[in-house]
Structure 1
Amino acid sequence: MDIGVFLPTGQDQWAPGGGPRDLIGFARRAEELGFSSLFVNDSLLTPRIEPLTMLAAVAPVTERIGLGTGALLPVLRRPVQAAQALASVDLLSGGRLTVAVGAGFPGRFGRPLHELSQVPWERRFARLDETVALWRALWAGATEFHGEFHSFPELTPATRTFRPGGPPIWLGGATPAALARTGRRYDGWLPYPPDPADYATGLAAVRRAAREAGRAPEAVTPALFVNVRIEQDTESARRATDAYARSNYGLPLEEVAQIQALAIGSPDQVAATLRRYTEAGARRIVARLAALDLAGQYEQLERLAELLPSAAEPAGLTLPGRR
């Protein structure tokens, strides 16, 4: 199992007391600790470093750690330009890029993003699938592309990716339609269900859709997006995560816990939660550290690195520091 962490690219997570250039040191420390990947969020509604810019900055100063988006919102970018930017990051990293994408969802982080990007909200899932198909066609050297939303009778040579065919593309989401689309079209699944049982049910649906599409079920990487806060005192962990949820989403912890995976509490409690997800089938975990400043992010990074071996060794899985 691969264990990754999110870079704290939001301005509230590195200021005051730090700057975005400090995220380079955070990325290097994550690699030193043995984490397998660094992921970045995407949004226009909160001040943050643009995700592909961030990955381009850390690619040449790291060597082994994977780089990923979780989740990139293609609606925010013109599709051909996005394909070139993704190919560039894949080249700069030597083929270490994974691209998890999403179509947005109703509420604060859905329609407003489409309005800012001047792209219709309607049929957003079909638009997403076609954008991904266009990226793959460009990376494969296609000279033309014809779709419902994008049509190019003549394509000039595109920037080629490090790996033939481009980086793996995962889908976030756990609705029945998203599960079916993941199995049919995507290389991985990155949801954040609050109940491990729902993860197991969703993964079964993804694999069923893959088989029905003539794909091997194992072709879809099962990953998990989870919020993590480790404290010796459980109540302290809950208070810190509540403050993070209110800052990041404008919602209390109780509401976030209804829609997102959380592993918070003492080291033993967090380890037990992660074990339940690995038992449900997750093989790549990407942890977002619930801390409001850079010092707190570093502290949680170190605690997670110490914890993870006990979280997954019962399943016989490979973790940071135990390669």
Structure 2
Amino acid sequence: MNTRLGVLLPTNHHQWDDARRLADFGVRAERLGYDSVWANDTLIGPRIEPLAMLAALAPVTERVTLGTAVLLPAFRRPVTTAQELASVDHLSAGRLVVTVGAGFPGRSEIEYAVSEVPWERRFGRLDDTVALWRALWAGERTYHGKVLSFDELPASTPSYRPGGPQIWLGGASPSALERTGRLYDGWLPYPPDPADYRTGLTAVRHAATSAGRPADAVAPALFVTVLVTDDVAGGERQLDAYCRTTYGLPYETVRTIQAMVAGPAEQVAATLARYAEAGAEHVVCRIAAPTLDAQLDQLELIAGITRPAAGQPSGH
């Protein structure tokens, strides 16, 4: 598989007994040839805050991209977050990618409520927040958007790279596809069918060119839940347990919404290859294993079936 390969750090607190081992997980992924390591964000359930996690990974890794999958900016003060992201960008010497989202209906309303942010106009707020970050990183002192407006901004920490870290969008609704092509640097969805991925990517590229951007302005990526096992039935039971723990929903429901695959190495590799053929150039794997030790085992298995030679970094 010639696509870039990433892995999501274990998210559920049952998956790590010592949070410091999560940094070891990221280092191990880099040594196995993974191209990126990602941290997840939510206020539902205990977990290590993603920007703190990436800041911890920055000095102990050298090559891998460090990303959020996804960050929910509505839960944070936008000016402060711009400084935090610029700081991680500096600590990692420009290896940060920020994938953002607006949350999930039926799940995220409580997160918005405790963050004292209205659920309404959340997509406009998200786009404004990203535009504000870019303005702050560029040294601008005012910002006026549709939802956020500031007549006077403080001098803020500039980003490591001119223009700031790449900002990707997670989502595959028609409006998300249009906004991705028009405003964002990358696309990280999880459609359960590679054909839907191909159709979505076509729409993103059309939106990009309609906005006067190059068709390839948006990096095409995929978020997929993976478990390598020779026991297919047992693997699906593990996926079911994972979905119920993570979402409170059965696997049969989640699989209609998200890309998920459990099975022998050949089956997993073939599934990922179909998404690559549909245009995905960066695959971010979430490992559906219940413990950190099991995740580490899977980390090696996935590297073995997707890298030209396990332990050797692929080209960027």
User: TM-score, normalised to structure 2's length?
Assistant: 0.96
Residues 177 and 67 (structure 1 numbering): CA distance in 2 closer, same or farther, change over 3 Å? same
Corresponding residue for residue 83 of structure 2: 84
Corresponding residue for residue 216 of structure 2: 218
Corresponding residue for residue 68 of structure 2: 69
Rounded to whole Å, the distance in 2 between the matches of 1:218 and 1:41 is 26
SS at match of 1:217: coil
Question: Residue 45 of structure 1 contacts residue 113 of structure 1 at CA under 8 Å; is this kept in 2?
Answer: yes
Corresponding residue for residue 55 of structure 2: 56
SS at match of 1:38: strand
Give the share of equivalent positions with the same residue, in percent: 59
SS at match of 2:216: helix
Q: 1:240 aligned to 238, 241, 245, which one?
A: 238
| Paired residues for 1:175-186 under 5 Å | 175-186=173-184
Corresponding residue for residue 13 of structure 1: 15
Q: Cα deviations across residues 283-318 of structure 1 (Å, max 9, x unaligned)?
A: 0000000011111110110110111137xx9xxxxx
Aligned residues: 313
Q: 1:150: Cα distance to partner?
A: 2.1
Rounded to whole Å, the distance in 2 between the matches of 1:322 and 1:149 is 42
Question: Residue 98 of structure 2 contacts residue 167 of structure 2 at CA under 8 Å; is this kept in 1?
Answer: yes
Amino acid of the residue matched to residue 203 of structure 1? Answer: L
Rounded to whole Å, the distance in 2 between the matches of 1:198 and 1:129 is 24
Amino acid of the residue matched to residue 268 of structure 1? Answer: E
Q: Cα deviations across residues 144-190 of structure 1 (Å, max 9, x unaligned)?
A: 11223222212221111110110000001000000000000000000
Residues 21 and 177 (structure 1 numbering): CA distance in 2 closer, same or farther, change over 3 Å? same
| Paired residues for 1:281-292 under 5 Å | 281-292=279-290
SS at match of 2:307: helix
| Paired residues for 1:142-181 under 5 Å | 142-181=140-179
Q: 1:321: Cα distance to partner?
A: 4.5
Q: 1:131 aligned to 129, 132, 136, which one?
A: 129
Structure 1 residue ranges without an equivalent (≥5): 314-318
Question: Residue 35 of structure 2 contacts residue 313 of structure 2 at CA under 8 Å; is this kept in 1?
Answer: no
Rounded to whole Å, the distance in 2 between the matches of 1:195 and 1:224 is 11
Amino acid of the residue matched to residue 6 of structure 2? Answer: G
Rounded to whole Å, the distance in 2 between the matches of 1:6 and 1:193 is 17
Where in structure 1 do 4 or more consecutive aligned residues deviate above 4 Å? 319-323
Q: 1:264: Cα distance to partner?
A: 1.5
SS at match of 1:298: helix
For the aligned residue pairs, the C-alpha RMSD in angstroms reads: 1.5
Rounded to whole Å, the distance in 2 between the matches of 1:181 and 1:200 is 17
Question: Residue 308 of structure 1 contacts residue 320 of structure 1 at CA under 8 Å; is this kept in 2?
Answer: no
Corresponding residue for residue 316 of structure 1: none
Tell whether 2:282 aligns with 1:309.
no
Corresponding residue for residue 264 of structure 2: 266
Amino acid of the residue matched to residue 46 of structure 1? Answer: G
Q: Cα deviations across residues 101-133 of structure 1 (Å, max 9, x unaligned)?
A: 00112112x211111111111111011000000
Compare 146-155 and 197-206 and name the one that shifted more. 146-155
Question: Residue 31 of structure 2 contacts residue 312 of structure 2 at CA under 8 Å; is this kept in 1?
Answer: no
Question: Residue 287 of structure 2 contacts residue 295 of structure 2 at CA under 8 Å; is this kept in 1?
Answer: yes
Rounded to whole Å, the distance in 2 between the matches of 1:82 and 1:263 is 34
User: TM-score, normalised to structure 1's length?
Assistant: 0.94
Structure 2 residue ranges without an equivalent (≥5): none
Q: Cα deviations across residues 235-279 of structure 1 (Å, max 9, x unaligned)?
A: 121111111111111111111101000121110110110011001
Rounded to whole Å, the distance in 2 between the matches of 1:183 and 1:92 is 29
